[in-house]
Amino acid sequence: MNDKIAQIIDVGKWVMDKGLTWGTSGNISARENDTIYITGSGTVLGNLSSDDIVVCTMEGEVISGSRKPSKELAMHLAVYRSRKDVGAILHASPFYSTMYACSDVDLKTNLFIEAMYYTESVATIPYHHAGSLGLAAAVKGVCEKARVIFMENHGVLVYDTSLAECQNMLEITENVCKMNILANVGHISLKEVSPHQVSDFLANNYYKKRSSHK
């Protein structure tokens, strides 16, 4: 089995086991040179097999696979075409992240070390129908400046150099949203790390170094 296909299957099971999506919600892709591996339309992330993965070109042409690619293919391609550094994309509907995407809660992200790193650059886009060209265009419009995109009344999109980094980013994002929402419900004031300390933390690679895509 191709390594990318095996990784996507493993990540799909991890997403479902962690309760970070439900039903047929969510899709996963990985890039290998100019080839894209993406979950098929209507698949359940926790029950993927090699037959559920479709291989496409950067133009969206299907190279191999018995299923139709995810209807969100255009959204994935929009990121890959804009970001040469991105090697994998994960779209899911974690409960608290989706609740945030359906609310007007102000999101505080500079709360702890992993959050400062993985949610350093976050964007939110208005609602567009899943699989629509409007959604792909909206993602394209912000993906250069973010690594986490909240899609209003839809879910969350994360992307990075590898699927492993996407897993970290999705889980940290979900915990950040959970902290914000529970604090809001409990009338708890979350205290963020100061902007100066955040800048110093990121600039001096106190967590780990992330290369620029520019």
Among residues 124, 162, 115, the alpha carbon closest in space to that of 146 is found at 124
Is 72 considered catalytic here? yes
Contacts of 73 (CB under 8 A, 6+ apart): 36, 38, 56, 60
Beta strands 122-125 and 148-151, pairing class = parallel
Identify whether the C-beta of residue 75 lies closer than 8 Å to the C-beta of residue 157: yes
Alpha-carbon distance of 81 to 23, in angstroms, equals 29
Residue in 72, 165, 171, 174 annotated catalytic: 72
Alpha-helix residue ranges (DSSP H) falling in the chain: 3-17, 73-82, 95-101, 113-118, 133-142, 163-185, 195-203
DSSP annotation of 162 reads S
Contacts of 196-199 with CB under 8 Å at 24 or more apart are 198/110, 198/116
Active site residues: 72
